[in-house]
Structure 1
Amino acid sequence: MEITVRGGRIAGARALQHPSGDGQTDQINAYAVPRLDQETTAAQSAHIDTVSGATFTSDGYRRSLQSALDAAHQAGAR
């Protein structure tokens, strides 16, 4: 995960890696990851909704996002 924090708010979020390999996984991620990125900036936290049909992707995204937010907080991001 890459997050951008400005003024104490999440200005952007982007998944740098996600599972791939088979067509179905690629299709799910192409649909879910951009929505999760948008949801993150709207929610301003890792408390984001699961994308329907992408439970595993959403759960992994949330865990990675929380780790990135924790690291930013420890680094004193503003």
Structure 2
Amino acid sequence: MQVSITVAGGKITAAQTVQVPSDNFRDQEINSYAVPVLNSEVVAAQSADIDTVSGATVTSDGYKESLQSAIDAAHL
């Protein structure tokens, strides 16, 4: 999982997934509903302190870890 953020004026304005696990159908299915939810929560929360998506714990955890790295790199 690799997450990228867009920052303007010191605020996160968007979050995108650059790379997601897609090795099998189940990964694709989970990512199709979890990733958009996670992306939108980032903008609202302005941090990596976002809720785990039900049924997508591993995806959510990987997303948050990558997100925190992106936030750290942006010095937010």
TM-score, normalised relative to structure 2 = 0.93
* CA distance in 2: counterparts of 1:68 and 1:8, whole angstroms: 13
Structure 1 moving runs of 4+ over 4 Å: none
Bigger radius of gyration: 1
SS at match of 1:16: strand
Q: Give the aligned partner of residue 72 of structure 1.
A: 74
More strand by share: 2
List alignment gaps of at least 5 residues for structure 1: none
Q: Give the aligned partner of residue 12 of structure 2.
A: 10
Q: Give the aligned partner of residue 31 of structure 1.
A: 33
Offset of residue 22 of structure 1: 1.2
Offset of residue 47 of structure 1: 0.2
**Identical counterparts, % of pairs:** 61
Offset of residue 45 of structure 1: 0.3
Give RMSD over aligned pairs.
1.0
Per-residue deviation, residues 12-70 of structure 1 (Å, max 9, x unmatched):
00010011121111000011001100000010000000000000000000000000000
TM-score, normalised relative to structure 1 = 0.91
* CA distance in 1: counterparts of 2:72 and 2:26, whole angstroms: 31
List alignment gaps of at least 5 residues for structure 2: none
